Structure 1
């Protein structure tokens, strides 16, 4: 009960209440007290309510919906894809491991690859869940089923790892990540592991960082049993190790077990550093390092000019290198039977890699019938073939680039924000200077486009 306004006013004036003045009233929202039914049970008549009457007319009530069962996907098999081209030049791409490392094999078959690269765990995290026995068994079974040879598989290392960092704690963190990757490769039965050598981060000389990298390789070779560590050449940022072939040579010279170290040549990176032709590049590499150490190549055209010291990947034939340079590579018997891996932009469409692989395989057929012809300028007689293949690449890229731009307009803001956050996390994790990080940004983006 609450006091009425009239009673409150009279009390404030000190005037007495009269008989007609109500002193209190019930709360406005007070619920009526439930009055029990005094009638005997026999007198209570139960009548159907409206809902019951409607139900009686409409029939039985609606049954609860059954839980939707997940659609079972058919297990991919080799006959689902076009037969791969038989060639001594093993062309492939860096394919996605989304959904399980065993899916890389299916993704490689989908684009017609005779070789492939993969990440054996997230390349943007220091640690990842371990491979399950099911992952390993499925990977090995599919390798056999689809006819892939481990010597044409080139796993790529984490972009966080810097074995040349003079800070001992940070270098140890890199080493643990590096070692974990190699152990995963061993479980999967893989032979190679490709990695970026590292950076001085501006706190050491290049000679000091080179020695630190070699020490880590000697250590990891003792902590594992078989995987060959494959050092990738770099593009020339000032603190990055590996842009000069002599730096790769100096690392190898300090490695005890030289049977477990090799080199991967990236065409975009050597163009950025040396700015000359493939023939002269290979001659320099053979003189300073030795072709016996060449374990694989990354086939990328370049968006930047010769000697730019920038690693900006472009689709095959559309950049500075041009298609004749790749014909020269695929006419060279010295690069037969090693993985030749694309890291070019795909615009989130695997059809781009499928087209590029077809073009490169066609060039290898031309090279096989005519042999190496020397400098790119001497390939004029094949101009018609090259123009035809270049048209194929331009057509498929135009289609999927335009489609991606159209679809991506609505989500551009969110995507840019997430990429910015990812780059920030990467810089915080590695403490590598901005110009050093830019050295691997393009191949990181092209490789992870299907891998996230």
Structure 2
């Protein structure tokens, strides 16, 4: 059974995410473990941790994934922000470990004019420090593919390879593949041949075994635009065929797939609609 779900709200408490996920029909969910627009986080106490784990155990959710705060920039050339970002990511990694969440998805960061090579080195150095502070932790940090907007790093598979090569414990890292981001970055997904070329390149440079989570989103903007704008499944520039190839590829059967599509007026209804499309696509083409 494929693990399908969405990024859901934690309003009212972390444990409430399972209620929303259940209404949508998720078997996997992605959450922020804290307010994503603030640096600070209220420490987790034993009651909150137990509440979260009890809700998880009694839900139909098999996998929980966390996403880090968008404030974090491990590629920043500014030492103050770089140090602050490291501390914030360490705190989020610790929260995931306490909650039993296996994956923490992060955007690699932005070089902000210092150049890609320097930015990638900064990201790797920051990850090395965080790994040094979390020996024995089971939560794995996942580098997310990006669209390449502005000075964002991670829009080429080679960027992620460079980070892995520069880290001292690369086995503690994995990859989150975002369909909108990869497409906007210039990788083709619309045709079967283009889809295969993209994943052949991914496998050659990174290895399919490093792929732990897939964000399933259509793109408002065309291939190669390097503009990060998500759209509902089949409603954007990728179209339904690209998602057919994804949903019927046996290599991805056990990899959690998470929607980050626009929510509309009713987030539950919007997510149900997009999940239904993905499930239907599984039946429309022979393997």
Q: TM-score range by the shorter chain?
A: over 0.9
Instruction: Give the Cα separation in 2 of the matches to 1:254 and 1:272.
Output: 26
1:157 corresponds to which residue?
68
Pairing of 1:368-407 with structure 2 (within 5 A): 370-371=286-287
Is 1:228 the counterpart of 2:140? The answer is yes
How far the C-alpha of 1:165 sits from its partner, in A, is: 0.8
1:114 corresponds to which residue?
27
Instruction: Give the Cα separation in 2 of the matches to 1:263 and 1:108.
Output: 23
Contact 2:27 / 2:60 at 8 angstroms: preserved in 1? no
Match of 2:277 among 359, 362, 369: 359
How far the C-alpha of 1:284 sits from its partner, in A, is: 1.1
Please give the per-residue CA displacement for 1:208-243, whole angstroms capped at 9, x wherever unaligned.
111111111122122122211100011123421111
Instruction: Give the Cα separation in 1 of the matches to 2:219 and 2:150.
Output: 20
Instruction: Give the Cα separation in 2 of the matches to 1:96 and 1:238.
Output: 28
Is 1:244 the counterpart of 2:162? The answer is no
Is 1:319 the counterpart of 2:230? The answer is no
Is 1:290 the counterpart of 2:207? The answer is yes
Match of 1:253 among 155, 160, 165: 165
1:295 is paired with a residue whose SS is strand
2:43 corresponds to which residue?
130
Match of 1:345 among 259, 262, 265: 262
Please give the per-residue CA displacement for 1:262-289, whole angstroms capped at 9, x wherever unaligned.
1111111111111412222111111111
**What TM-score, normalized to structure 1?**
0.60
Please give the per-residue CA displacement for 1:96-129, whole angstroms capped at 9, x wherever unaligned.
1000011111111110011110000011101021
Quote the RMSD (CA, aligned, Å).
1.3
2:141 is paired with a residue whose SS is strand
Runs of 4+ aligned residues of structure 1 deviating over 6 Å after TM superposition are none
Instruction: Give the Cα separation in 2 of the matches to 1:190 and 1:130.
Output: 16
1:153 is paired with a residue whose SS is strand
Instruction: Give the Cα separation in 2 of the matches to 1:319 and 1:295.
Output: 25
2:81 corresponds to which residue?
170
1:329 corresponds to which residue?
246
Contact 1:165 / 1:200 at 8 angstroms: preserved in 2? yes
2:280 is paired with a residue whose SS is helix
Please give the per-residue CA displacement for 1:21-71, whole angstroms capped at 9, x wherever unaligned.
xxxxxxxxxxxxxxxxxxxxxxxxxxxxxxxxxxxxxxxxxxxxxxxxxxx
Contact 2:26 / 2:61 at 8 angstroms: preserved in 1? no
How far the C-alpha of 1:315 sits from its partner, in A, is: 0.6
Instruction: Give the Cα separation in 1 of the matches to 2:22 and 2:67.
Output: 19
Match of 2:128 among 194, 197, 218: 218
Instruction: Give the Cα separation in 1 of the matches to 2:29 and 2:265.
Output: 17
Higher radius of gyration, 1 or 2: 1
* Higher fraction of strand: 2
How far the C-alpha of 1:177 sits from its partner, in A, is: 0.8
Which of structures 1 and 2 has the larger relative contact order (alpha carbons within 8 angstroms, sep 6+)?
A: 2
1:345 is paired with a residue whose SS is coil
Contact 1:153 / 1:339 at 8 angstroms: preserved in 2? no
Match of 2:224 among 307, 322, 335: 307
1:104 is paired with a residue whose SS is helix
1:263 is paired with a residue whose SS is strand
Instruction: Give the Cα separation in 1 of the matches to 2:243 and 2:197.
Output: 14
Match of 1:146 among 43, 59, 66: 59
Contact 2:96 / 2:139 at 8 angstroms: preserved in 1? yes
* Higher fraction of helix: 1
How far the C-alpha of 1:169 sits from its partner, in A, is: 1.5
Instruction: Give the Cα separation in 2 of the matches to 1:246 and 1:275.
Output: 13
1:116 is paired with a residue whose SS is strand
Contact 1:304 / 1:310 at 8 angstroms: preserved in 2? yes
**What TM-score, normalized to structure 2?**
0.94
